[in-house]
Amino acid sequence: MDIFIQLLINGLLLGGAYTIISLGLTLIFGVVRVINFAHGDFLMVGMYMIYLLAANFGIHPYVGLIPIAVVLFALGALTQKVIIQPLLDADEHIQIFATVGLSTILLNLALVLFGANVFRASVETGTNAITVGGYTMVTGQIVTFVVALSLAVLLHLFMHRTYLGRALRAVAQHRYAAMLMGINVNTVYIVAFGLGTAFVGVAAGLLAPQYPVFPTVGTYFVLTAFVIVVLGGMGSLYGAVAGSMIIGVIDTMAGYYIAPDLKEVVYFGIFLLILVVRPNGLFGFGTE
């Protein structure tokens, strides 16, 4: 029983990391209606920036995530303005090809600049383990979990209590009706893409003490994030949080009780089973 509870705790804490990445991904899809296959590569860019700040200036990743989130917001906004905006009226597969192309560019740029070497931000804060009630937790995972839930609450308040947040929801529901109400849809798209990308900037700072950085580091996280977004309901912020926790727990449970190299098979199988029963995901479609 103690092992089960320990695995449950580990899974929920892992779900915190997935939550931040998935919130950004689902925000972009829910508002802009674009599946961003470069999302993981933006995470990789953020983690390299965090590493460079730590290695060259001694800035801790938890401090560095603030300017990096701002930089990635700008990068995401630029991506929407320059690459996605001209393709909004094109077929969906053209938009997908554009984000896949951007992903390829960022990946190969990282290979050119850093090679295939593995780097790590050498810090102590965030890597220590503490024991509470007989159960062991990594401080970095606790911080990530708390920040993830805080961001989810703040995003919910932003979407419901501010004019810009309500504009995001209006465009997500029906962009042409939003236009008739005087909302600048193109500006909303830029803000949504920027915010979604800024979320991976935050995730980069939180994950840097726990994970090494290399050109394909974002691939694992973003593949899992896609599963979470579809599982929770495409565009559903609540679904992104719930799906992250579910996948996090399944990940740790399957890794222990079945086999570490089969855990992806397990949660992909459960993911497909849920979609057979609920094709729109657990929470349906739409940005709340």
pLDDT digits (tens, 9 = 90+) for 89-119: 888 788 889 999 999 999 999 999 999 889 9
> Helix or strand or coil: residue 181?
coil
Residue 238: what residue type? Answer: Y
Taking the C-alpha atoms of residue 18 and residue 227, their distance in angstroms, rounded to an integer, is 10
**Residues 6+ away with beta carbon under 8 Å from 184:** none
Q: Where are the alpha helices (DSSP H) in the chain?
A: 2-32, 39-57, 61-79, 92-114, 139-161, 163-173, 175-180, 185-207, 217-232, 237-257, 263-277
CA angle 268, 274, 278 (to 5 degrees): 140
Q: If we measure between CA atoms, which residue out of 83, 46, 30, 65 comes closest to residue 192?
A: 30
CA distance 278 to 231: 9
- Which of 267, 273, 276, 282 is CA-nearest to residue 233? 282
Question: pLDDT digit string (tens) for 125-181?
Answer: 666 778 877 788 888 899 999 999 999 999 999 999 999 999 999 998 888 888 888
What are the backbone dihedrals phi and psi of residue 282, each rounded to the nearest 5 degrees, phi first?
Answer: -65, -35
Are 209 and 259 in contact, with CB atoms under 8 Å apart?
no
pLDDT at 287: 56
* 190: confidence class by pLDDT, cuts 50, 70, 90: very high
Chain centroid, CA 183 distance in Å: 27
Collapse the DSSP code of 234 into the 3-class scheme (helix H, G, I; strand E, B; otherwise coil) and give the result.
coil
Asked whether 237 and 284 are in contact (CB, 8 A), the reply is: no
- The β-bridge partners of 213 are 119
Average pLDDT in the 52-60 region? 90
Q: What are the two backbone dihedrals, phi and then psi, of residue 213, each rounded to the nearest 5 degrees? A: -115, 135
Q: How confident is the model at residue 74 (pLDDT cuts 50, 70, 90)?
A: very high
At 256, list the tokens. 């222990």
- pLDDT above 90 as % of the chain: 53
Q: How far is CA 120 from the centre of its chain?
A: 20
Radius of gyration of the chain (CA): 19
Supply the DSSP string of 86-113, one letter for each residue: GGTTS-HHHHHHHHHHHHHHHHHHHHHH
Strand 135-138 relative to strand 129-132: parallel, antiparallel, unpaired?
A: antiparallel
Over residues 191-206, the mean pLDDT reads 95
- Tell me which range, 60-64, 193-197, 223-227, is most confidently predicted by mean pLDDT: 193-197
- Tell me how many degrees the CA angle 204-208-211 measures, rounded to the nearest 5: 115
pLDDT of 72 reads: 97
- pLDDT (average), residues 236-265: 87
| Alpha-carbon gap, residue 189 to 127, rounded angstroms | 37
Tell me how many degrees the CA angle 259-263-265 measures, rounded to the nearest 5: 115
